[in-house]
Amino acid sequence: MNCKLKKRLKQLRLENKYSQQQIADKLNITRQAVSKWENGKSIPDIENLKLLCEIYNVSLDNILENSVLTEEKISVRKNSVRSEMRHCALVLNIVASYFLAPFGFITLAAVLFFMKRTDEHRLLLTFLSLMALIKNIHSTYYI
């Protein structure tokens, strides 16, 4: 059984403040059957799913698909936010390294270490950190 379906069934029951016994009574089944659905040991048949939709006042799509899509969207969004935060931190580090000589060496290492090969801004950030490093080397030895 889909792990997300069992979580969604339990979530809907708790959101609507029903006990397993109350749901079982409304569906004319045993409490153990509801427990098995929520533990992933079995799945409700289509008739019971329709009745659950009426009880919880949600669509069948909401029970079956949206729970899966919502968790996937949340996971993707978290990864996206982390990636954007990492990019911002590296850009600020590059700007600082442009003006402060010791940061130039550290920044290039940080960009190469923290950027993944799949990051879309990897080449740009590497180029900018190299330019900051070259400027730092030039200004250090020019004096």
The answer on pLDDT for 67 being more than 50 is: no
Residue 126 or residue 58, greater confidence: 58
The answer on pLDDT for 105 being more than 50 is: yes
| pLDDT computed for residue 104 by the predictor | 67
> How does DSSP assign 77-103, residue by residue?
HHHHHHHHHHHHHHHHHHHHHHHSHHH
Confidence of residue 69 (pLDDT cuts 50, 70, 90): very low
C-alpha–C-alpha distance, residues 9 and 52, integer Å: 9
68-90 average pLDDT score:
66
